[in-house]
Amino acid sequence: MEAGLLSAVLGVVMVQTAGQILDLQKIAGFWREVGVASDQNLALKTPKKLEALFLNLNGEELTVKAAYNNSGNCETEKIVGLEIDVSGKFIFPGHREIHVVDTDYEQYAILRVSLVWRDKDFHVLKYFTRSLEDEYEPGFWRFREMTADIGLYLVARHGRCAKLLKEELI
């Protein structure tokens, strides 16, 4: 199912954050997953866990490269989405959607990931940082405030897969 969640990061990107248009060029780059919040615990049950993403924009295309830890082995997946209709809205294979809820571009991003799996809709809030080590407290507390009513699952892994992805792309 985590493949579904990675794939969720490869969904439709809707680009409004705090009422402002998202600057897609600034959101590009490396992001490490730090926290997950959902009323479902699917992300905790899967052996394949997302550790990091690298977003790259090229014209109307958004390429997402994800690094997973699959029962101790690092795997990567790459998916390309195409921009449609509205600036910053991308379509990827399958029924997936991502909405950037909040970001400061330099330290953190909070994403709302929606996907359909086994004919059911799932929604997850995910917290990402640019750093391999830090959770970046201001963004983390914002994430905690936003998820207080849904259930919070912290992803306490400073994974080697995230480190490998970042090193590979530098």
Q: Which of 17, 1, 34, 2 is closest to 98 using CA atoms?
A: 17
How many Cβ atoms sit within 10 Å of the Cβ of residue 133?
7
Residue 52: beta bridge partners?
32, 67
pLDDT of residue 88: 47
Distance, CA of 12 to CA of 162 (rounded, Å): 23
Task: Compute φ and ψ for 167, nearest 5 degrees.
Answer: -65, -40
- 80-134 pLDDT, tens digit per residue, is 876 665 544 566 777 777 777 888 999 999 887 777 777 888 888 889 999 888 8
**What one-character DSSP code corresponds to residue 59?**
T
Q: Where are the domains of the chain?
A: 2-169
Structure confidence at residue 160 as a pLDDT band (50, 70, 90): confident
Structure confidence at residue 156 as a pLDDT band (50, 70, 90): low
DSSP letters spanning 104-150: -SSSEEEEEEEEEETTEEEEEEEEEES-SS---HHHHHHHHHHHTTT
- 39-95 pLDDT, tens digit per residue, is 776 656 677 888 999 989 887 777 889 899 988 899 999 988 766 655 445 667 777
Nearby residues of 71 by Cβ (< 8 Å), 6 or more positions away? 47, 48
How many Cβ atoms sit within 10 Å of the Cβ of residue 158?
14
**Which strand (E) or helix (H) includes residue 42?**
helix 42-45
pLDDT of residue 86: 53
Average pLDDT over residues 8-36: 66
Taking 50 as the threshold, does the pLDDT of residue 13 lie above it?
A: no
CATH number for the domain formed by residue range(s) 2-169: 2.40.128.20
